[in-house]
Amino acid sequence: MSLLVLGLSHRTAPVGLLERAALTGDAPRRLLHAAAAAAPVGEAALVSTCNRIELYTDVDKFHAGVDELSVLLAEHTGVSIEELTAHLYVHYEDRAVHHLFSVACGLDSMVVGEGQILGQLRDGLSLAQEQSTAGRGLNELFQQALRVGKRAHTETGIDRAGQSLVTFGLERVAEATGPIAGKRALVVGAGSMSSLAATTLARAGVSELVIVNRTEDRAVRLAAALADHGAWAVPFADLGSALAGADLVVSCTGAAGTVLSAADITAAAARRSGSTPLALLDLAMPRDVDTEAHGLDGVHVVDLETLAEAAAQTDGAAGALDVEAVRRIVAQEVDSFGSAQRAAAITPTVVALRTKASEVVRAELERLDGRLPELDARSRSELAQTVNRVVDKLLHSPTVRVKQLAGEPGGASYAEALRELFDLDPAAVQAVAGAPVRVPAQAPTPGVARDDRAPPGLRAPPAPRTDAQHPYRARPG
């Protein structure tokens, strides 16, 4: 497959832009279907989290793939293509695999080493499977990425270098408003991030734990799971009262607009007792807490923008040896995956070659039967076995060797050579593979005219197998 990754994340775009580009409601599914339906795309998967939006696709045309996917991303996020271009990155083939494996290990996360990304990648794969946009290639790739992520967490101490975004956020809250233990906590939302927040707060020893969600049944289920810690759910209509009775609020909903307005927060802060400020940890994208809350008296807000700044200051300070160990694992796994994919890609061609050889032998034996009708059955059988042995011996060494060579960089050329030298029917190869024969998409050399459908301002991409100079900034790993 020719893997192309196009996206933006906290490393390339400001939080404000990520917030505007956030995909909510049915938008992820619609973008996924649109990407899969694009002419250059064979398969598609989407990874959409609070700090990244990435399309993983199998393409047969590099330029057209980048151009069409970037336009689709702009259309479905509502951010103009001109504004997006400055923040998008592109990874291609081995570099794209390296990027995904690095993401799976938490190396590209806001909080380096966090393990939540594995669940988010699994969600992205599940969505692509449910919508039938991921074929064998992306399924194998994502499954391997999940295995690499698990290996990194098992074989290294990367967990010590990183934390969940929830834990990291609560530490920032504690620095400003005091220990979490003993606080009255309110969790707004009942999704995976909210569930993690509620569990973390319960373990931290909060004195009260209230869950509020628009769908009350989900809040009730989450509260029931934490009943041993005294958690309970209240209707969303009582959010204002719950807000006034809390010392700490963690909000992470999937709402498209503000959930906690400045007016509601002001009213809650005025009704509170105690000298410590009302702490608000907003982990939603787009944000749940009104931006005006940052300037309110008696209120302290920590959101993704705050966390991004804090993460940048602490990046690389701890766990450097573990991070380096994970990078070595990623490099090793990328090499192994690439070799296995290249070797597997030539198998249909080898099978088609052997099938053609068998058909030639069969035809010649039938011709011999017609010319020598006096041969007895035993002689005919011996002749057939002898001819087949000769053909097998002639093909054995070259087919074994070509599989070995195919595992090396540039190995796809060996399959093409076999098809050309032995005049193999592409349809026969396709029948063995169960999918169309796709020549890997080649990024043309600089100066080659781009597709007319490219968005304004794009230059030609780099030479084959590199993306370092593409106008969409290629990112390490």
6: burial class by Cβ within 10 Å (0-12, 13-18, 19+)? buried
Do 288 and 251 touch, CB atoms closer than 8 A?
Answer: yes
DSSP designation for 277: P
Peptide bond into 373 cis (omega under 30): no
Cα R_g (the chain), whole angstroms? 29
- State the Cα angle at 222 between 221 and 228, rounded to 5°: 105
* H-helix or E-strand spanning residue 199: helix 192-204
Do 35 and 41 touch, CB atoms closer than 8 A?
Answer: yes
Do 286 and 15 touch, CB atoms closer than 8 A?
Answer: no
In angstroms, the CA 2 to CA 346 distance is 15
Tokens of 50: 């609070």
Place of tokens 């076995």: 385
- State how beta strands 184-188 and 231-234 pair: unpaired
Order of strands, edge to edge, in the sheet holding 299-302? Answer: 231-234, 208-212, 184-188, 248-251, 278-282, 299-302
> Distance between the two ends of the chain, CA-based, in angstroms?
19
Tokens of 101: 């494996």
Set 50, 134, 206, 223: catalytic member = 50
Non-local CB neighbours of 417 within 8 Å, separated by 6+ positions:
none
DSSP designation for 60: S
Using alpha carbons, list the distances in angstroms from residue 13 to 21, 54, 298, 410, 461: 10, 13, 31, 34, 21
Write b or e for each residue in 191-229: b if 16 or more Cβ atoms lie within 10 A of its Cβ, otherwise e: eebbbbbbbbbbebebebbbbbbbebebbbebbeebeeb
> Is 50 in the active site?
yes
Q: Name the residues annotated as catalytic.
A: 50
